[in-house]
Structure 1
């Protein structure tokens, strides 16, 4: 896909690559760390349910907030570049981030609905967590594609995310009992 850049965008592009910011999309992969941290915790939770409490502390964080809170050396440039990101890139990026936030928060809410630290997880609950992790990882791969400019129009989202018909509390309880 060919993007036509404004003069303001073209002026900042030479500074981006040396700062680990993609000069086509104006996005940095460092933002993926925000999601990778919770994925690592979720991967351990089926075998170590006591980590569910740590995972519950995770909260969505905007791209800008992530960089303002980070030790990323070029964080001001990352925020500036994000504000100048091509609209199609930014729209796809934000859409996938919103779906990631929704999926992660739904997974965490399901785990918080029961006291798993004491009882642990049923095999069905462990499988549900693994399925959710796979969906999250699939979205992270799509997000990475957007960051690297490897997209061609619309990004197809996994069915689990597009049709995220929330389970009832009764369904969640059955999994964790």
Structure 2
């Protein structure tokens, strides 16, 4: 069964986690990791971008939205504060994993001489980071209602379908 997410949200009673009035997580936070992914993919062709990767900083979801001028920042923080602590920790673990991946690739790019396997490493790392960003995006789009630590792509789709069927 499929449903249009906006219809499901519009039909939810006010105040429920899926309702339009409830605080929502925001994917704006993930732009930081998308930027790192872009730099990793391009650094294999332009060594000058390694300095940009070395300057890249990871911050937490809360830190990001506390400093954000976006109108949705307060709602994003409120939604994060409402997350089940176990799910929030799993999300933070995924973010930590992405940060470690970025740092590892950055260190390899800065090595002189660079490893001969670097192009293959960059491909594998880019794919892994892209998948992790995708997992985090799905978690945020579901407003934390899925267990990011437990899902596989097929299990995730089943969870999303179940959420939309409510």
Query: What's the counterpart of residue 62 of structure 1?
Result: 60
Deviation (angstroms), 1:78: 1.4
Query: What's the counterpart of residue 149 of structure 2?
Result: 154
Deviation digits for residues 64-89 of structure 1, max 9, x if unmatched? 11112333212122112211122343
User: Equivalent residue of 1:80, what SS?
Assistant: helix
Change (3 A) 1:155 1:141: farther
Query: What's the counterpart of residue 78 of structure 2?
Result: 80
Deviation digits for residues 31-55 of structure 1, max 9, x if unmatched? 1111111111111111111111111
Please tell me the root mean square deviation across aligned C-alpha atoms, in Å: 2.8
1:130 to 107, 114, 123: 123
Q: TM-score, normalised by structure 2?
A: 0.69
1:92 to 86, 90, 93: 90
Give distance in 1, aligned partners of 2:117 and 2:148: 37
Retained in 2: the 8 A contact 1:46–1:126?
yes
Deviation (angstroms), 1:134: 0.7
Give distance in 2, aligned partners of 1:146 and 1:140: 10
Q: TM-score, normalised by structure 1?
A: 0.65
Give distance in 2, aligned partners of 1:153 and 1:73: 26
Give distance in 2, aligned partners of 1:77 and 1:143: 18
Unaligned runs of 5+ in 1: 1-8, 22-26, 158-177
Change (3 A) 1:53 1:11: closer
